[in-house]
Structures are given as structure tokens and as C-alpha cells.
């Protein structure tokens, strides 16, 4: 039975998180460190220069007033005293596809796990109702078993599961998310104003992408990496900028 560190960004009481927790604890040694409140969009932020409140709700189940990244760091460096086989983040209420991964607290927790040398997985549900998380939790449980049994080390998997009937699994690349952002300004008085960032999301359908797979009713599994270096530009930059 492997040790699983379970976290998320929707908060410890979110339906998706609880469904995954209930499913995993039957077959794994699960240790929970999750945010006490909603942290969606927190990305890879961490809490500095103030104490983080850590509350033990029961054995191997902690909540904190911090971010998903804080959860992983606190668990690894303080709360868990044995080897962590895998870090799982989710199930998120909504997809994390394309460039969503740069904003997602769910994905950030998995990336933080990878920086510690631990195989990690971000799990998200793509749909509309977000009522029944059981099929997604069961799929995630089977996938976790496979990854651990295969002995795949230091892997980062971004998993998006369709809310509708699952017809297959595809290994994908990140697609193109289209953001149509807007700012709504209100309650302006003299030099003080309150603004709300809003807008709509869409995406570009392309072969082999996470968006395409989920649109077709398949689970999208996208392997990620931490190295953001643009290697194609390095040669040109060296030729023109290095003296």
C-alpha cells in the first residue's frame, strides 16, 4: 500500500476532493493536507512572511490557511514522516487544459511535488454539472495504481476527465486556450475604484491536444515538465546578444 499525499485548490470540503479521498483511502495510505478555503487561480504562489495556520481535523488529515503549494511544502518538510510515493491534486471542479496550467493551483501542487522529486498527478473534471465525481475518482484510482506499479519516477501528469461517459484514454499535448478577458470597473469615488476581472473562455481544437480528447469523450493525460527554457531561441540569442 503506497503513501499518497492528497491536496487540491478548491478546499478540503469540495465534493471532488472528498470523492477522491473516500475512494483512495480504501486502497492507499492517504495523508491529506488541503487548503481550508477556495484557492482556485492561486497558481504556484506560496505564503511568506506570516505564519500559516495548520489544523489537524483527524489522523493524517490537515487543513491550512494557505495555497496548494504551501500544502505540499508543509506536508513534505514537516507533517509526513515517511516516504511519499505519489502526490495527487484534485479532483478539480473544472478542467485545467492548455495554458490553464499556468494559473491552476491544482496543477501547481503537482508541479511542486515534482520539484521535490516525487511523481505527481493533477486531476480535473471537465463538464457542466459537477454533481457526480465517482466515475472520475474511480478512473483516477486505477491510473494511480498503474503509475505506481510501473515504477514511473518523477513524472508529472495533468489528467482531465470528461463528465460524460468515458470512451477511452489519450496521451495529449497542451492545447490552445483562448482568453477573452475584460475588466468591469464600478464603485469609483475620487481616486479609489473597485474592478472585477471577468470574461469568457474558449479553445482551439487541434489534433492530439487535451481539448480535442475531452471533446471526444476521452480522458486526456498530458505529461508536463518543469523546464520552461525555449531551446529554439537560445542559438539565435547567443549569436546576436553574446559579446
- Residues tagged in the binding site annotation for a divalent metal cation: 9-10, 40, 92
- In terms of Cβ atoms closer than 10 Å to its own Cβ (0-12, 13-18, 19+), residue 201 is middle
Beta strands in 13-130 (DSSP E): 29-35, 54-58, 61-64, 86-93, 120-126
* First vs last C-alpha separation in the chain: 56
| HSE toward the beta carbon, residue 223, CA cutoff 13 A | 7
C-alpha–C-alpha distance, residues 160 and 125, integer Å: 6
Binding-site positions read 9-10, 40, 92
Q: Residue 106 belongs to what H/E stretch?
A: helix 105-115
Cα 55 from chain centre: 22
Amino acid at each position: 500500500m503506497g503513501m499518497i499525499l492528497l491536496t487540491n485548490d478548491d478546499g478540503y470540503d469540495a465534493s471532488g476532493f472528498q470523492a477522491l479521498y473516500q475512494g483512495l483511502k480504501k486502497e492507499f495510505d492517504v495523508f491529506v493536507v488541503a487548503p481550508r478555503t477556495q484557492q482556485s487561480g492561486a497558481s504556484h504562489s506560496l505564503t511568506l512572511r506570516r505564519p500559516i495556520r495548520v489544523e489537524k481535523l483527524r489522523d493524517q488529515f490537515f487543513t491550512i490557511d494557505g495555497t496548494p503549494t504551501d500544502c505540499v511544502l508543509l506536508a513534505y518538510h514537516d507533517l509526513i514522516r515517511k516516504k511519499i510515493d505519489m502526490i495527487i491534486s484534485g479532483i478539480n471542479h473544472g478542467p485545467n487544459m492548455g495554458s490553464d496550467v499556468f494559473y491552476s493551483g491544482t496543477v501547481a501542487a503537482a508541479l511542486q511535488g515534482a520539484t521535490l522529486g516525487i511523481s505527481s498527478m493533477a486531476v480535473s473534471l471537465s463538464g457542466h454539472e459537477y454533481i457526480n465525481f465517482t466515475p472520475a475518482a474511480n478512473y483516477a484510482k486505477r491510473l494511480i495504481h498503474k503509475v505506481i506499479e510501473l515504477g514511473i519516477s518523477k513524472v508529472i501528469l495533468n489528467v482531465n476527465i470528461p463528465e460524460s461517459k468515458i470512451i477511452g484514454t489519450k496521451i495529449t499535448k497542451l492545447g490552445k486556450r483562448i482568453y477573452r478577458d475584460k475588466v468591469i470597473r464600478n464603485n469609483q469615488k475620487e481616486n479609489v475604484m473597485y474592478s472585477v476581472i471577468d470574461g469568457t473562455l474558449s479553445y482551439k481544437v487541434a489534433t492530439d491536444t487535451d481539448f480535442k480528447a475531452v471533446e471526444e469523450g476521452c480522458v486526456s493525460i498530458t505529461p508536463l515538465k518543469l523546464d520552461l527554457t525555449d531551446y529554439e531561441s537560445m542559438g539565435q540569442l547567443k549569436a546576436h546578444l553574446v559579446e
